[in-house]
Amino acid sequence: MSHPPPGVQPSSVAIVTLGCARNEVDSEELAGTLAARGWQLSESELADVVVVNTCGFIDSAKKDSIDTLLAAAEGGKKVVAVGCLAERYGEKLADALPEADAILGFDSYARIDEHLDDVLAGRAIAPHTPADRRTLLPISPAQRPRAVTEVAVPGHQWGPTTARKRLDDSPVAYLKLASGCDRRCTFCAIPSFRGAFVSRAPEDILGEASWLADHGVRELVLVSENSTSYGKDLGDLRALESLLPRLTAVPGIEWVRVSYLQPAELRPSLLQALGSTPGVVPYFDLSFQHASTPVLRRMKRFGSTESFVGLLDQARALAPAAGSRSNVIVGFPGETEDDVAELERFLTLARLDVVGVFGYSDEDGTEAEQFDGKLADDVIASRVERVAALADELVNQRAEDRIGETVEVLVELIEDGEVTGRAAHQAPETDGAVTLTGATDGLRRGQLVSAVVVDSEGADLIADVVPGSVR
């Protein structure tokens, strides 16, 4: 679609984003494409069409996506589903959700404007037909850079013509390092619909980082399905270590945070870079999933309580105040009471700042779906409640341990006289916040300030601003 003729009101679109940070990048890329082709971005209630960027990872996320689509369609509003749920289920979703006017997969993103034109014109669009996206790229990572130009990879479309438009004015933004995953965890379906692992070229990442800085961003959060694999398809296993200081040197960028680290791939040089590179916040988002070795083996993962605690000890030796978080799955097929006790022992020793506790559920097409030893729903629920209660207690203790610590805080919200932000050990949206007290007059969003922690509430902190420390 070209820009509308003079005097003709452009069509309007609202983009609603669900799920993970990677989806937020994809939504801003869709917004950039649409804006460049003449569409006006709008609020849902005012838009001609609503695009819902769905999540398809776990049952609760799928339900949230469907509920959002149904709510958006109320009153006859035109609604289009994109994102992981649409990519993963395609025709099945279309059959189950006739309220949606179109179900579009990742291959449709480059022509999203044309598809929305069809929706507004009442022209039928054949729903996406799912396929295993791992088969679209060569098995050998080294052969992928040449082939990836022929495969749709959302969030990788940065170029001379900007393919991204910010959907808010936050001083923090997500930036994709890579997409896809080559690991074969038995509980996870993500590789089948996100595809094989593909790194972005360093120059593309740096170019997008500079653009984000020019749009008021002070913190970059690097995201992917597995950030520790970055560079393996570029012929440089230390590409991330080289990239990090280049990102921190981008004018305007104060913090760089790396998310989604795979413990089994966290090589010593990357650990060193994360813990000691100026401008890179010492933050370790480690995907442990469990700590019992037998359970981890059934998950096709590796590690143990001792190896995981040892990894955290190494991180804290580099940066004693480092932040650390993880998610764990409780109730995996074959999990015993001894396995749960081992997980509890690990959590007690790990001193994580944040722990997400999830109950196992079968995912379509995964290896674990066919496993014996499935636990009853009430057993899983009981174990989740037990482990979550312990995790909450430990997270509270970890936050209390920070009382008296001086933290650097990125100011994010000023409302009704209250100033809140995040310390370096807190990632956006998931890890709690810091309420600033004392010398807060004149503070603005996007500023960095030092503050002394005086109290805690769960993972949240209360801290007094150090006068004269604003930058």
Q: Which residues are annotated as part of the binding site for [4Fe-4S] cluster?
A: 20, 55, 84, 181, 185, 188
Do 407 and 401 contact (CB within 8 A), yes or no? no
Q: What DSSP assignment string belongs to 72-101?
A: HHGGG-EEEEEHHHHHHHTHHHHHH-TT-S
DSSP state of 286: B
Bridge partner list, 356: 327
| The pair of three-digit structure tokens given for residue 342, joined into one six-digit string | 């081992």
- Cα–Cα dist 463/424, whole Å: 13
Helices (H), 249-304: 268-276, 293-298
Binding residues, by number, are 20, 55, 84, 181, 185, 188
* C-alpha distances out from residue 138 to 29, 88, 198, Å: 25, 21, 11
Q: Round the CA-based radius of gyration of the chain to a whole number and report it.
A: 23
Residue type at position 318 = L
Contacts of 296-300 with CB under 8 Å at 24 or more apart are: 298/186, 298/332, 298/333, 298/334, 298/368, 298/371, 299/185, 299/186, 299/187, 299/329, 299/332, 299/368, 300/183, 300/184, 300/185, 300/186, 300/367
- Short-list 109, 428, 389, 467, CA closest to 285: 428
Q: What DSSP assignment string belongs to 323-344?
A: EEEEEEEES-TT--HHHHHHHH
- Cα–Cα dist 78/99, whole Å: 9
* C-alpha distances out from residue 81 to 39, 78, 90, 310, 403, Å: 18, 10, 9, 44, 45
* C-alpha distances out from residue 1 to 36, 288, 349, Å: 10, 46, 57
Cβ partners under 8 Å of residue 4, min gap 6 = 10, 11, 38
- Short-list 229, 283, 278, 290, CA closest to 254: 278
Cβ partners under 8 Å of residue 96, min gap 6 = none
Tell me how far the alpha carbon of residue 21 is from its chain's centroid.
3
Do 451 and 464 contact (CB within 8 A), yes or no? yes
Phi, psi of 176 (to 5 degrees): -80, 130
